Each structure stands twice: as structure tokens, then as C-alpha cells.
Amino acid sequence: MPSETIELRGHIIDSLILPKVLDEIITHGGTFKIGEIRIGEGRADQSFARIEVDDPSAEDLDDLILRLRQHGAEVVEKKSAQLAAAPADGVFPEQFYVTTNQQTFVQLDDGEIEVHPALMDSAIVVDPAAKTATATKFYSIKKGQEVVVGHRGIRVVPLQRSTSRADVFEFMASNVSIEKPKTAVIREIAREFKRAHEEKGKILVVAGPAVVHTGAAEHFEKLIGWGYVNLLFAGNALAVHDIENALFGTSLGVYLEKGSLAESGHENHMRAINVIRSAGGIKPAVKSGLLKSGIMYSCVKNNVDYVLAGSIRDDGPLPDVITDALDAQRAMREKLSGVTIAMMMGTMLHSIAVGNLLPATVRTICVDINPGVVTKLADRGTFQAIGLVTDLEPFLRELTDCIGNAR
């Protein structure tokens, strides 16, 4: 019977890796013998297991081993990854290996190299000469590049739960309950922000227009002013609503201060777009003194980098908007390096798009009043995502208060 020996290392008990591996083996028709098992006695101690896996068919065994690798299993005698050339620009070879957002290594003949970036739903382009392995999207692949095919020689290192329970990302894990008290969680998030700020980590905020609708722009502006936002990803709508608010005091014709409808209110939205188009963009409008407040103004004044990605429901759009979806993806990916925290607020489209681009190690906070959105975003199978079902304005007010008090 075909068999392979795998090894598991790390917090394989309390990260539930060992039982998942045994479960996979049995579920997929294999059998196992545990050759050796050493279970760390303390929480900080690593455990180790060596397991012989048998399967009636060699093909099924390959499949099974592939699945076990996703849990961090290493095959004792490693074989090199197989490579094949991309048959055309924008096309991967058949049987290309599909990446996850976890740390991944490729075994080549002369050693193992790490894949960069940790980008999901890509293929791995290997340059044996340069000793690089690059996660590559469909739209970037060039004919003839060497791409990993099959699953041999791939090692995935799943994110392991840290041994300290100190932080909110572990404590909360996937907790999106509407009914929980949020004050304690917001306090923890504030602490994470401050830690990231002190350690020069990059904080990315992904924001939808609800930040403006709900009247939360002023809090957000404070965060930007204090240096707690290092990168903003949004769409045309956020920027237009923000600028409409800055220029006319309304958002889609609703006076945010008074909560009442403006005369001719809906026109303000269109006029705000026209003002910025006429000025040639947001930065020129800030420079010329046309735009004197708001989120976008604060970004420009504080040199916060932003990407505005277009969508088919945009009005205008503003000149700053990248209307091509692939160009927008590229622009976002380029700026992501160094991001340690991503906070996503009030937008499903942009949040999912950004979520697809983030490595598993980035700590992600998803805030939305719609539990469906939070569930979709928070439930990404890592220990690193917090979901909060709450109203954006009070959330941002409290977060800003917490950070402000501690400055």
C-alpha cells in the first residue's frame, strides 16, 4: 500500500492541528500509524508528531498529502516542486498550484524558498536563477514563465495561535455577536492601534460612504490627523459624499448636522463631483483652497496615501478614481506591503476585494451594522479577524475617544 511519512510540529494540539490531520486521513479513506508523539507540557512548548499515512491508491495518497500540507504537515522526504511553462500571456499551465494567503515555501532541487507575497488565488512563478517564487495573478503572467504545477514540494505554514492570550484578535476570534458589549473590544482595538503606531506598523482603513452618512467623518478625520491612518482604500462614493459634506454640509442631500433634507439636496452630490472635476482632482482642490475640510482633505494634508477604486455604480467619477478594476487591484497591492492592521468599515465590495489581497498575518477588523457583511468578512479561517456588528458613528467616536485619551 502506498504510504508517506509526515511530521507535524508546533502547537499542534491546542491549535487543533493534530486532530484535524487525523480526521482528514480517516475521512479520505486513509489509515495512519502514529510513530512518535511528543506533547509539549506547557502552553509555550511545541509538540511533535510523526505519522505514517497509508492509502490504497497512489493518486488518492497524493491528494490526501496535499490536503495535509494545508495543515502544515511536512513530508519527511521532500521532493522538488514540479514546474511548467505558462502557455500564453495571462494563462497558467494546467494543474497550476493555487495559493492561499498563508506563508508558503517551494522545494526546489537546491533548497526551499519562500513565496512572496502571501497572496491567495494566485499561481507561483519560480525563477530558479534568481531563486525567487512569486505569487502571480492571472493578469500578470507572461508566456513561458515557470509555474508550479501539482502539489509536490509545497509546504504551507498555517498561522499558529500565539501562546499568550494577550490580544483581542485571539480572544474575539470570529465573534460577531450583535448582543455583546462592544466597549471592552473597542478599548482593545484602540490598544492595537497604538501598538501598531508605536512600532511603525502601517494601518490601512477601507471605508464605505456610510462613514460619512452616519456622521462619523469628523472622528475619522481626527484619526488621520493623529497619524493613526496610514493608508486609505475606498471608492468614488466615499470621496464624493465626504466632499459634498465638506462643500455643502450635506450627504446625498441630507444635512448631517441637522438631519434634515436640504432644498435641492440631491443636486449637491452632482455639484460636488463637478467642482472636483473642474479643479482637476482632489489634491489640486485642496491646494487651491476649494476643499478645506473632510476625510479626503485630511488625507492630502497629512500625506496619507489613498487608492480610490471605481465601480459601475459610480457617479462622475472624481478624477482621482482608478476606473479599471485590474489597475485598481495593482495599485492597492503595491501599497499593501508593511500593513499590519486593516480596518474595514461599511463596505462589502471594497472589504472583500482588499481581504483577497491581504496575507493571513494582517490583523483585520470588520465593522458593519449588517451582520451578513461582518460574517462574510470575519469568517476567514484565521485567528486574526475581529467582526463587530455595530453602528459606524458611535464606533468611530468611541475608538477615537479611547485613542485620544491615551495620547
Residue tagged 476570534 (cell numbers): 173
Binding-residue pattern over the window 60 to 99 for a copy of itself, x denoting contact by CB under 8 A: ---x--xx-------------------xx-xxx-x-x-x-
State which of residues 135, 254, 339, 386 lies at the interface with a copy of itself (CB under 8 A): 254
The CA-atom distances, in angstroms, between 295 and each of 218, 221, 224, 342 are: 8, 5, 8, 17
48 binds a copy of itself (CB under 8 A): no
State which of residues 138, 142, 143, 195 lies at the interface with a copy of itself (CB under 8 A): 138
- Cα-atom radius of gyration of the chain, to the nearest Å? 24
Q: How far apart are CB 296 and a copy of itself at their closest, in Å?
A: 18
Beta strand segments in 346-390, E? 363-368, 385-389
Kindly tell me which of 161 and 197 has the beta carbon lying closer to a copy of itself. Answer: 161
State which of residues 313, 334, 405, 407 lies at the interface with a copy of itself (CB under 8 A): 313
Kindly tell me which of 39 and 85 has the beta carbon lying closer to a copy of itself. Answer: 39
Nearest of 190, 222, 182 to residue 368 by alpha carbon = 182
**Count of residues touching a copy of itself (by CB under 8 A):** 102
In the region spanning residues 271 to 300, those forming contacts with a copy of itself, defined by CB under 8 A, are 271, 273-274, 277-278
Kindly tell me which of 96 and 306 has the beta carbon lying closer to a copy of itself. Answer: 96
CA 159, 161, 164, 170 torsion: positive or negative? Answer: positive
308 binds a copy of itself (CB under 8 A): no
Q: DSSP for 205-225, please give it.
A: EEE-THHHHTT-HHHHHHHHH
Name the phi and psi angles at 403, rounded to 5.
-70, -40
Residues 6+ apart with CB under 8 A from 200: none
229 binds a copy of itself (CB under 8 A): no
- In this structure, the chain runs to a length of 407
Q: Hey, is 357 helix, strand or coil? A: coil
State which of residues 103, 390, 399, 400 lies at the interface with a copy of itself (CB under 8 A): 390
127 binds a copy of itself (CB under 8 A): no
State which of residues 7, 305, 314, 320 lies at the interface with a copy of itself (CB under 8 A): 314
Q: What is the spatial distance between Cα 145 and Cα 18, in angstroms, rounded to a whole number?
A: 37
257 binds a copy of itself (CB under 8 A): yes
356 binds a copy of itself (CB under 8 A): yes
Q: How far apart are CB 109 and a copy of itself at their closest, in Å?
A: 25
Kindly tell me which of 108 and 349 has the beta carbon lying closer to a copy of itself. Answer: 349
Amino acid found at 406:
A
Kindly tell me which of 56 and 139 has the beta carbon lying closer to a copy of itself. Answer: 139
324 binds a copy of itself (CB under 8 A): yes
Our CA angle for 134, 137, 142, nearest 5°, is 80
Q: Hey, is 83 helix, strand or coil? A: strand
Kindly tell me which of 164 and 303 has the beta carbon lying closer to a copy of itself. Answer: 164
In the region spanning residues 162 to 201, those forming contacts with a copy of itself, defined by CB under 8 A, are 165, 171, 178-185, 188
Q: What is the spatial distance between Cα 275 and Cα 244, in angstroms, rounded to a whole number?
A: 10
